[in-house]
């Protein structure tokens, strides 16, 4: 005859329980208050693996990884987007990739961010800038680095800038940032 296993040790398994009522009397009438209690909440660790695809924008992120800034261009009209775009917004035609890494670039507008999402909160204040490129029809929103956000001046508008790339790409738009041109 098989021996029954010893009593299994009980643990909470990492759960944290909130709002669990604890009646002390056994009189059925004394339990009526339970209907008025808030729901019990159980807090537990949760993990998910999220598979994200950059789809038609993948070449743009591959370019950043290889220290290249790519733009999308409509072959017929020459309309050029500083951000990745698979199709032209006017004609619907498929765009082609062009390299704008070495094109002259300037600050079109900027703002100093004193608050940010969790990822950037530790870096506040930081500067976001809209960068314009020669022969590119749209602007690129990016970080402006190597400049003191406490020394804000409108003289930054029109300042020439150069792209810099993270050494270890994270496949995020923040893999590229701009600094004043030497």
The continuous run of DSSP H or E covering 108 comes out as strand 105-113
Residue 127 in contact with residue 174, Cβ under 8 Å? no
Residue 159 has pLDDT above 80, yes or no: yes
| Token pair 């010893």: residue | 6
* Mean of pLDDT values over 88-99: 94
Arithmetic mean of pLDDT, 67-89: 95
Q: Which residue has the tokens 């490129």?
A: 133
Give the confidence band of 81 by pLDDT, cuts at 50, 70, 90: very high
Rounded Cα–Cα distance for residues 60 and 29 (Å): 68
What percent of the chain clears pLDDT 90, i.e. is strictly above it? 65
Phi, psi of 30 (to 5 degrees): -75, -10
* Model confidence at 168: pLDDT above 80: yes
The pLDDT confidence band at residue 9, using thresholds 50, 70 and 90, is: low
What's the alpha-carbon Rg for the chain, to the nearest Å? 28
| Residue 180 exposure: Cα atoms within 13 Å on the Cβ side | 10
Of 178, 4, 5, give the one whose Cα is nearest residue 101: 178
Q: Identify the band that residue 6 occupies on the pLDDT scale cut at 50, 70 and 90.
A: low
Q: Is 114 exposed, middle or buried (0-12, 13-18, 19+ CB in 10 A)?
A: exposed
């Amino acid at each position: 005859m098989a021996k029954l296993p010893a009593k299994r040790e009980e643990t909470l398994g990492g759960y944290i329980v909130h709002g669990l009522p604890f009646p002390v009397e056994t009189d059925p009438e004394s339990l009526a208050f339970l209907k008025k209690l808030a729901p019990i909440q159980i807090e537990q660790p949760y993990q998910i693996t999220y598979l994200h695809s950059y789809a038609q924008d993948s070449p743009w992120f591959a370019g950043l990884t290889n220290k290249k800034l790519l733009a999308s261009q409509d072959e017929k009209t020459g309309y050029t987007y500083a951000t990745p775009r698979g199709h032209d917004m006017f004609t619907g035609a498929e765009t082609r990739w062009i390299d704008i890494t070495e094109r002259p670039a300037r600050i079109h507008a900027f703002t100093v961010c004193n608050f940010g999402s969790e990822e950037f909160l530790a870096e506040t204040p930081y500067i976001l800038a809209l960068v314009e490129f020669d022969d590119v029809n749209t602007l690129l929103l990016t970080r402006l680095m190597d400049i003191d956000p406490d020394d804000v001046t409108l003289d930054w508008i029109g300042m020439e800038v150069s792209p810099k790339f993270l050494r270890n790409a994270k496949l995020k738009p923040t893999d590229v940032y701009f600094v004043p041109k030497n």
